[in-house]
Structure 1
Amino acid sequence: MNAVRPSPDQWISDLELITVAAKAAGERALSFFRKNPDVQWKNEGRSPVSEADYAANDILKEKLLTARPNYGWLSEETDDDEARLGCDTVFVVDPIDGTRAFIAGKEVWCVSVAVVHLGRPVAGVLFAPALDELFQASLTGDALKNGMPVTVRTENETVLRIALAEETVRLLEHGYRAGVSRIAHVPSLAYRIAMIADGRIDGTIVKKNSHDWDLAAADLILERAGGALFGLDGQPLSYNRPNVRHTVLCAAAMPVLPALIAASQGLDGH
């Protein structure tokens, strides 16, 4: 088990490390973008993975584990090694969040890298190279977009801009629905949460079966911007568990979140 490292300086150092690695991986993925990369299908043909995903994953794994060999590793594109469960600190990585968009030539995809310590993210980076956008946060600093602080939208709005699937709207509590303007599908879940952090939208509902690697970096970025990602029980997520899948989740600015969670209770089980 790796040593406990509670120092804020450590998380800042880790943020610098994962930023460099995410940029390198993102630039490598970008070299495949809109160039008809080779695509395979996993999970019984339900999930695409491209040669760009694997190339980005290789860069991240080499750079990160060389620098922090005592950290655990959890990536969408690496076979899970349960040794991570014995590590206090773990890299949680999605080499390309939004692979379907990447394959389709759409720009909304990103490299997602988080450092998770004792179940919670302490440093996180999202790099969207096709958009030239970099989101960063550490446990003690501001959420940044391209080096500038960002915060959730705090104005009192009568209509909330919520990103959710069209079929999900009818499952919301009836009275709440009238005050919701649905934001159309955003291909990358991590990027969608970042859109809350920088104030472009007010919230989102995440269907069940998202994974640690989709969420960990974006979770911290949203937290440092004044929002939160919670389950329907109103509790924050715990990462690096044996089961890395999650149930229905809600993400929003803190003043908006309780009502969104209450209105979403009917989604439990969907």
Structure 2
Amino acid sequence: MTYSPSTPPAEAATDDHVLATWLAEEAGRRLLAVREEGLEGRALKDAGDAAAHELLMGLLAEHRPQDAVLSEEGKDDRVRLSSERVWIVDPLDGTREFSEPPRDDWAVHVALWERSAGDGGELTAGAVAQPVLGETFNTGRPPVVPPSTAPKPRIAVSRSRPPEFVHGLAAELGAELVPMGSAGVKVLSVARDVTDAYVHAGGQYEWDSAAPVAVARAAGLFTSRIDGTPLRYNQDEVYLPDLIVCRPELAEQIVAWVTSHDVG
């Protein structure tokens, strides 16, 4: 599959939701093209990370030149701490899954944080593309979360490093565990009625959750730190190790169990 950039929708010039969606989709198309280059293992991972990062940095410089950018694959430019608008991107979330074709549980994250949006700033736009599925979830047209179709709650967990505490939480909720890759895929699985909750502790950064959390909030899902406090972005320290994303009706029970068991 070859790649050539598309022309952004006219609305992207003034609508950050549209731009975020287009950026995520363009990076996804670029990554699908990289997957067709015959690379394997570490070479495929590195090529994907670099190609998506370079594309997003170039497109943001072209279409939002006054904004700062925080990318997993770039140097942390501290100018973002005094900027009014900061794009927080993970060019390839789920690099391991990306390097294992035909797996589809990897994603592209694009989020916008704005200082003027509230006390301490807030996420105001975001998009998560799942390129293999041909789907992009965004804040401009948030996903409509359907009623749960499962007979018991389902909790998304890492397929390679599920936290030990999640087994106790599952027992408390009478839930089953659903392993999958990318953090973004796990968050959006709640919106898609693939799972009902994603509870994580043990190491993430702002770019891992910013775009998925923006979309989850727009869809009406509950989001917080593991202790129930708000998730904050564009902080001096970009380490943001834990989060809860779940259906609102499960939030109180999950937070109560987690805080009473000293998880984190």
TM class by shorter chain equals: 0.7 to 0.9
Structure 1 residue ranges, 4+ long, deviating more than 2 angstroms after superposition: 9-12, 37-40, 152-155, 164-174, 265-269
* C-alpha distance after superposition, 1:17-46 (max 9, x if no partner): 122222211111111226325736xxxxxx
Tell me whether 1:13 sits opposite 2:18 in the alignment. Answer: no
Contact 2:94 2:106 in 1 (8 A): yes
Contact 1:76 1:213 in 2 (8 A): yes
Deviation of the 1:235 alpha carbon: 2.1
The 5 A counterparts of 1:72-87 are 72-87=68-83
State the superposition RMSD in angstroms: 2.5
Tell me whether 1:268 sits opposite 2:235 in the alignment. Answer: no
Match of 2:208 in 1: 214
Q: 1:66 aligns with which of 62, 67, 79?
A: 62
Amino acid at match of 1:231: R
Deviation of the 1:10 alpha carbon: 9.5
Tell me whether 1:191 sits opposite 2:185 in the alignment. Answer: yes
Match of 2:176 in 1: 181
Secondary structure, aligned partner of 2:88: strand
Secondary structure, aligned partner of 2:133: coil
Match of 2:104 in 1: 107
Tell me whether 1:132 sits opposite 2:125 in the alignment. Answer: no
Match of 1:96 in 2: 92
Question: How many pairs are equivalent?
Answer: 242
Q: Distance in 2 between matches of 1:163 and 1:205?
A: 7
Report which of the two has the higher share of strand: 1
Match of 1:168 in 2: 165
Structure 2: runs of 5+ lacking an equivalent: 1-10, 116-120
Match of 1:143 in 2: 142
TM-score normalised per structure 2? 0.83
Q: Distance in 1 between matches of 2:19 and 2:28?
A: 14
Residue identity (%): 29
* C-alpha distance after superposition, 1:142-165 (max 9, x if no partner): 413xxxxx215357x762111232
Match of 1:44 in 2: none
Contact 1:57 1:95 in 2 (8 A): yes
Deviation of the 1:236 alpha carbon: 2.1
Q: Distance in 1 between matches of 2:63 and 2:241?
A: 33
Deviation of the 1:195 alpha carbon: 0.9
Tell me whether 1:36 sits opposite 2:30 in the alignment. Answer: no
Cα distance change of structure 1 residues 10 and 36 upon mapping to structure 2, 3 Å threshold: closer
Deviation of the 1:15 alpha carbon: 1.4
Deviation of the 1:12 alpha carbon: 7.0
